[in-house]
Structure formats: structure tokens, C-alpha cells
Structure 1
């Protein structure tokens, strides 16, 4: 039996001459979430990098331009619409980013619109996209966050953090709500605003779906972290799943895809 998706994301590795300087640039100018492990914008499935300090005597070597091009590209990012691309450009420009190429439209490729940012070591990050059929809609076709209403925010943050194996960070707390920034670029939002007098729901449909590679272990861990089993493990030919409920009546489905060997 083969497991489900085994590669969740990938990161480009950039060797930099001054790690502190690069981290500051990516955080303050390009708006990346920078940690000791990576720098990412819009989650690990957005644009994700690893910044490594170059050893003494080594000079970073960005990619050269391909044949017929004037600018090399080290990391390529994609946007769904030109409106999103233009917004990103204006954000970077307002924060003093260096541009190796201003926005340009290539009519023969979609058309394709792109600009290129340069980091302190000369690495080039290209951002581009095709303004396709979705350009008429102002709402983007993606879910930014799943919202779970809770009564005791501190307790819920601790419980959900353990469930999904993520540490709660102070910078992700916004008053009455807390964000867990998930690996696929979405967020889990726990919100306690105005929940003190709201009764706990006794029955409800699942609000979120999470995946696991070991459904028996997932059930055991959910129980350990204070969730109750709302529906025990169901086994179908292509998927197994069970439902859990938190103390606020929120129901989540945990699934494991089954692949034939």
C-alpha cells in the first residue's frame, strides 16, 4: 500500500554572504515570514526559501541569464492575476526593493506579465502570471483560512497546536483570534470574539478536513489532546476517516487516502 502525497512542498536554497542582512531584507522589504529554518511568503507552498550562510571565502553565485535573456532568474513565483501581481510590485516598491527588471508584458506567452526583484547578493526573484479567465472576479479562487469559533482561546490554541504539531507564536496572535499558518499557504483561525454567551452546539457537520498518513495514530493523538470521537474510523476502498469534536462543539474530519500498490 502506497502512502498519500509524500512531498508536501519544496524550498529553494540560497547561499548568502550575510545571513542577518538577508533575513532582514526578506522580512522587512519583501514581506517574508522569516524563521531560523526558512523564509516563506504565503506559506511553504507559496514562495519558500532556505537562506544559508556562505562559508568564509565563498562568494554567492546567482544564476546567469539563459540564452537570449538579459537577466538570470534564481527563484520563480507565480500569481493568479495581474491585479495581484501589480499589488505585489507596489508593495515591494514602497518598501525600497531593488528591481532587476520592471514589470513587462510578453504578448506571445499568454500574455505573460513579470517583474524581477534583486536581493542583497544579486539573486533574482521573478514574479509573473497570466491574467486569465478569472480576471472578471474580484474574489480569488482560494480559501485563505478556516475559522473555528472557540470560547477559551488560550486552551484552544494549545489543543489545536498539539493536534497539528505546530507551535503557537506570539506574532500570530491578534487580540481575540489566533492564526496557525499552515504548510499549504492557508491558515487555521481560532476566534473567540463574542463567544462567551454562545451555547455549545451538540450536533453539527464537519467544518474542516485534515489529512493523516496513520489514521490509528491520529485517532489516539486526538484523544490525548482532549478531543472526543464524534464518528469512529470508517474504512472505504479509497479512504479512511473519522470525526472529532472539540469542547466548543466544532467537528473536524481526519482522513487517510488509500492507494493501491
Structure 2
């Protein structure tokens, strides 16, 4: 019997919802949107999380449970109350210049929450796996552009194509270049000197993997197991945050 109360995928989803609540309650998104109903829709997820956590169903059974469908429904309500499918572009366009970087960070946190909930069905369908890595997505990405961080000489800002969308990744590996195929762990967004990073490149001994095999936006093929160690530690740290 699978102990769903310790399933990393569900635990990360619960934590991402807490991140969303803090972000929306404290973030100053501008424009016409329904903050009250967005928060209420997210809050409605708690009962469904509890049902999943104590269901003791196997992973593939969890992926077909009615509770998961209800979580997806609430996530889509959140998108609606944020302003629809273009909510992130609307908020960014409405942000004054002096608030743009903070708005980008808050948008990234909300996007992480939505992707975590709406990608939960796929992760659960992979079966009963007891590994922190299963709690987040890892995608093949192509670096489209690289620029120096404006506030830190030891950091680079990368625009990364994941096929369905592009993300920003901040890295301390100064050798990354346009055209590199990388493996990106979609971790909770973190700000590095006022620039929000939406993921982390996988690497070994501090060197980013730059010729990763696999289709863009999908799970990479044949990555070294040791390249996952830092990601595991960061996931555990995220779950322990108050």
C-alpha cells in the first residue's frame, strides 16, 4: 500500500499552493482581476489535498481520482480570476518600470503553482516513486540567449525555450552559450540580485550539462544520476520552509 501522505508530488503541490497564497496576498498585481475569488479558489484545494494525502492509493490510481480533477478545476478557476490565459502578460504590461522586476518574480511564483497543479496528473501517472525528484518537472530546454547579470559579474541570465513557453534561468556557469541543449529542473522561482530564476540547469561537479538528449519540453534522456543531487536537496529545503 502506497503511503500517499509522504508522496513528494502531493507535498510539493500543497507547498506550491501556500506559495501562491503568500504571493497574491503580498504582491501588488495591477489591473482588473478578482483577487478575492482567486484566493478562494486556491483555498478550496485544501480539502482535495487532504483526500489525496490520506487515500493510500497507488500513483496511477491517484492520477484518475476525482480529487485530482477537482484540483485541476480550481486551478482553472484561479486562471480565470487572474484575468484569463494572458494573465501574466497583462500583469507585466501594467507594472510600472520600478516594479517590473518584482512583478516578474511574483508572476513566476504563480506560474510555478499553476504548473505544479496542472502537471500533477502526469507526475502521478508515473506510479509509486519515493524520490524528491518526482515532485517537480525536468525538461529539455534550448538556450536562446545569454546575457551578463546587470548586478553580478559571476552570474549569467539565460532565456530558455521549453517549446510550449520560454523561461528565465540565472546560472553561475559562465560557459553556457546560445544553442546549448540543457536539462532544466523546474524549481520554485528564486531571485538572484533582483532577477527571478524559474529553474536550475542540471550539471555535474559544477559544470552544466550542455548537450542533453531528448525533445524540447520533455524529459531528458540519459542524464547522470549525480546531476540530480542538488535538485533533490533544494526540493527538500522547499518542503521544510515555513
TM bin (shorter chain): under 0.3
**Structure having the larger proportion of residues in strand:** 1
**Structure having the larger proportion of residues in helix:** 2
Question: Could you state the TM-score of these two structures normalised by the residue count of structure 2?
Answer: 0.23
Question: Could you state the TM-score of these two structures normalised by the residue count of structure 1?
Answer: 0.22
Larger relative contact order (Cα-Cα within 8 Å, sequence gap ≥ 6): 2
